[in-house]
Every structure is written in C-alpha cells, then in structure tokens.
Amino acid sequence: MANTETTSLVPRTFHSAHFDELRQSISSQVTMISTLVDQLMRFIASSRKKDGTEAGIETALGEALANAVIHGNHEDASKRVQVICLCNTDGEVWISVRDEGYGFDTYALPDPTGSGNLLATHGRGIYLMRAFMDEVQFEKGGTVVRMHKNSNAAPPAQRRTQ
C-alpha cells in the first residue's frame, strides 16, 4: 500500500490572506517537466508583474522538478511529483515540490563553483535554486523543497492612491 501520510506543502506563514493556489501532480518522467513548468509560469505571471526575475524563477522551478523526477523518484513513472504553487496579489510566490524518494543530505552536496567541479555536467540544480529564489528550504529529509520569491509590488510609500 502506498504511503498515506499527508503533509501540507503550503507554507507555514504566508503574508497575505488573498492568494491563488495551483496544485499539480505529474508522473516521474522527464518529458513531463517542461509542460508543467510552462503551466506554472503562466499561473505565476497572472499574479506577478514582470520584473526581469521570470527566467530565474523558471530555472529554479525546472531544477526542482528535474531533481524530484531524476534524483528523487529515479524516473520511476509509477511515482509522482506533487507541486503546489501559491501566489498572492502582491506577487509573492511560494512553490513546494515533493517527490516519493528517500531524500538526501542537503549539507553533503559538493560546491559546484569549486575548481574540481567547474566542468562537471551536473550538480548545479540546488545552487541555481538558491541563486534565483529568495528562500529555499528542504524538508522531510530532502523529499520536499520549498522555494519562495518575495513580492515585487511597489512598497506602500511608492504606491499611488486615488
């Protein structure tokens, strides 16, 4: 029987009571990743004004999904990757990706910027997620990654009121 533990992928604190939520689940096939990334980026764009960070968010999302499919679930099509994306009206974004793998030691990852790793063809996914998102956390032994991008709305003092 499949593991029936239910863990909320929704962030513990979300700064706005008004947010949109998109939940998706895909089988662990690499070919499924780009379609889901496109769908999630359209969803994010509907709540977040363009500010030049879109490519970074897309890269972080793609890396998180690739890690879940390839490293977490070992491309086992019978296993699922669950994604929850929350966007509030100020453009704040939370993305949670969960796989059915065994996890990993998030502190034992080699530094991809180290001289011995500069020419490696892999090993940069988590580095890129951390570079492009404002916050990245791993939970459940590395089977859940939560990524957060801060609001890109103008601060209250800069908003015009009519």
User: Domain range for residue 84?
Assistant: 19-107+123-158
Question: Virtual CA dihedral for 105, 107, 109, 111, nearest 10 degrees?
Answer: 170
Alpha-carbon gap, residue 12 to 71, rounded angstroms: 26
pLDDT surpasses 90 at 94: yes
Name the more confident of 146 and 106: 146
What's the CATH number where 61 sits? 3.30.565.10
Please say whether the dihedral angle defined by the alpha carbons of residues 116, 118, 123 and 126, taken in this order, is positive or negative.
positive
Question: Do the domain assignments include residue 2?
Answer: no
Token readout for 132 is 């492009």
145, containing H or E segment: strand 144-149
pLDDT band at 109 (very low <50, low <70, confident <90, very high): confident
pTM here is 0.83
Of residues 141 and 57, more confidence is placed in 57
* Domains: count for the chain: 1
- Distance (Å, rounded) from C-alpha 21 to C-alpha 23? 7
Q: Does residue 10 sit within a domain?
A: no
Residue 67 falls inside a structural domain: yes
Q: Which helix (H) or strand (E) holds 42?
A: helix 33-45
28-32, 70-74, 101-105, 130-134: the lowest-pLDDT one:
101-105
7 lies in a domain?
no
CA-to-CA dists, residue 121 to 20, 58, 68, angstroms: 37, 20, 18
Calculate the CA dihedral of residues 100, 57, 146, 19 and round it to 10 degrees: -110
On whether the CB atoms of residues 109 and 126 are closer than 8 A, the answer is yes
79 inside domain:
yes
The answer to the question of residue 97 being in a domain is yes
Q: Both tokens of residue 157?
A: 């003092």
Residue-wise pLDDT tens digits, 13-53: 555 557 899 999 999 999 999 999 999 999 999 989 899 99
Residues 46-61: tens digit of each pLDDT: 989 899 999 999 999 9
Q: What's the confidence (pLDDT) of residue 4?
A: 32
**pLDDT in the model for residue 1:** 30
86 in a structural domain: yes
| pLDDT value of position 7 | 43
Q: Do the beta carbons of residue 64 and residue 82 sit within 8 Å?
A: no
**Residue 90 lies inside a defined structural domain of this protein:** yes
The H or E element spanning position 54 is helix 54-66
